[in-house]
Amino acid sequence: MDIIYNAQERPAYATAQTKTEDKVRAAEFAALSNPLVFAARAFEKDGNTVLAVLTEPIYLASDRAKLKELLTTEASAAAGSPVTLTFDLDVYRRISPDMSDEVKAFIIKKLGI
């Protein structure tokens, strides 16, 4: 008896993971489209998307607040869900593709989400 395997059907967990990765990448690319941003990393856990960015030096607090609002709006629109943006270097360094759930929970707690 032959087993028919349809290579085009993906398991449900793989589809959900792909959607999550697409949201994260969309948020990163939206941030990187701004000329002041030179690096961005993001992750999603339990529907919370966290985006950490590194920027050129911004000296005025008002300019920094405007940039944060602009980037948050653009990243949220690109991802299709709310995004929490941070300029925190420690958070940026901790975000990696293979980070554990404990690290994700720590970052979310640190940001007060």
Q: Tell me the average confidence (pLDDT) per consecutive run of 10 residues in the chain, 113 residues long.
A: 56 54 90 94 90 95 96 94 94 92 93 89
Structure confidence at residue 113 (pLDDT): 85
Distances (CA, A) of 84 to 11, 49, 69, 104: 30, 6, 10, 13
Structure confidence at residue 55 (pLDDT): 96
Q: In 63-85, which positions are buried (b, 16+ CB within 10 angstroms) versus exposed (e)?
A: eeeebbeebbebbbebbeeebbb
